[in-house]
């Protein structure tokens, strides 16, 4: 991740090289052939090299979050995708390829471009990214109306949850699984508990980013139409329209509102 920001990348390497030069200088000037002396120099040097990498990784991650991730949370999906492509252009190599495709898949899913989501998933091959890959593939198969394959991916994601140590990361995928489960129930005409669940998510998720709000608002509006409550549905569909930016949720909400208006005439 450090490599995507030139200044951080240069600083990281300069400090790393400086530490190695210092280690070599200490070895040259002070080593009296004691067997333990190289260890006394090597261990703290390696520790500082690791700290150096962690510090710059954290700085790069924070900068990415503040300048790019914020765009998708604000429902500026195309700006987000363009910013990612500009930032990672010619730098997506090695482990960074997985991160790039995971982030890019998020943007494509939000604009309903699931063919591109699928392509990104094929480039996510490291074990640590398998939960994210399963999550995106669930969305892809549901979009393509391939329910059995979606359920297979859901089962695989359930297995992977046990391997995720980061609680916040695990809870994210647990929520995604629950969302998929409700989507499938609704497809089957089973609306039990769905309205309460969506309202609970809107009321309890903190912070409630615009993207999160419009996704659950659209889901609620769509559900209420199916339940025969068009007037209540409009309230949530209007939220998705007003705050949805260039996401699929605004587009879908506009289509639903147009349909309701035509049915009323």
Inter-residue contact 126 to 114 (CB < 8 Å): no
* Predicted TM-score of the model (pTM): 0.84
Which residue stretches of the chain are H helix?
A: 6-30, 37-64, 70-73, 77-88, 96-110, 114-122, 130-143, 147-161, 167-187, 194-204, 210-226, 230-243, 248-264
Inter-residue contact 160 to 138 (CB < 8 Å): no
**Tokens 């509006």, residue located:** 221
Residues 6+ apart with CB under 8 A from 166: none
Q: How confident is the model at residue 120 (pLDDT cuts 50, 70, 90)?
A: very high
Cα(19)–Cα(14) distance, integer angstroms: 9
58 pLDDT above the threshold of 80? yes
C-alpha separations of 231 from 65, 75, 225, 256 in Å:
38, 25, 8, 12
Q: Which of 146, 122, 145, 143 is nearest to 133 (CA)?
A: 122
Q: How confident is the model at residue 141 (pLDDT cuts 50, 70, 90)?
A: very high
pLDDT, position 265: 56
79 pLDDT above the threshold of 80? yes
pLDDT, tens digit, 9 for 90 and up, residues 80-119: 999 998 888 766 666 788 888 999 999 999 999 999 999 9
Cα(215)–Cα(248) distance, integer angstroms: 9
């Amino acid at each position: 991740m450090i490599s995507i920001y030139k200044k951080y990348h240069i600083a990281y390497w300069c400090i790393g090289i400086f530490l190695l030069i210092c280690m070599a200088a200490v070895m040259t000037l002070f080593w009296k052939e004691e067997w333990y002396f190289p260890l006394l120099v090597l261990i703290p040097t390696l520790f500082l090299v690791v700290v150096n990498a962690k510090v710059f990784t954290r700085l790069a991650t924070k900068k990415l979050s503040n300048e790019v991730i914020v765009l998708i949370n604000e429902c500026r999906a195309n700006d987000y995708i363009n910013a990612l492509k500009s930032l990672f252009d010619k730098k997506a190599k090695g482990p960074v390829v997985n991160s790039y495709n995971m982030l890019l898949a998020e943007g494509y899913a939000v604009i309903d471009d699931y063919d591109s989501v699928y392509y990104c998933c094929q480039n996510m091959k490291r074990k640590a990214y398998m939960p994210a890959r399963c999550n995106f593939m669930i969305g892809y198969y549901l979009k393509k109306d391939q329910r059995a394959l979606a359920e297979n991916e859901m089962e695989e994601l359930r297995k992977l949850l046990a391997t995720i140590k980061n609680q916040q990361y695990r809870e994210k995928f647990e929520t995604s699984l629950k969302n998929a489960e409700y989507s499938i129930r609704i497809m089957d005409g089973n609306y039990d508990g769905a309205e309460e669940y969506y309202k609970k998510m809107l009321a309890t998720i903190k912070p409630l980013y615009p993207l999160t709000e419009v996704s659950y608002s659209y889901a609620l509006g769509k559900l209420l139409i199916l339940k025969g409550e068009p007037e209540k549905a409009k309230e949530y569909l209007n939220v998705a329209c007003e705050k949805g930016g260039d996401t699929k949720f605004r587009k879908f909400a506009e289509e639903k509102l147009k349909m309701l208006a035509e049915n009323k005439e």
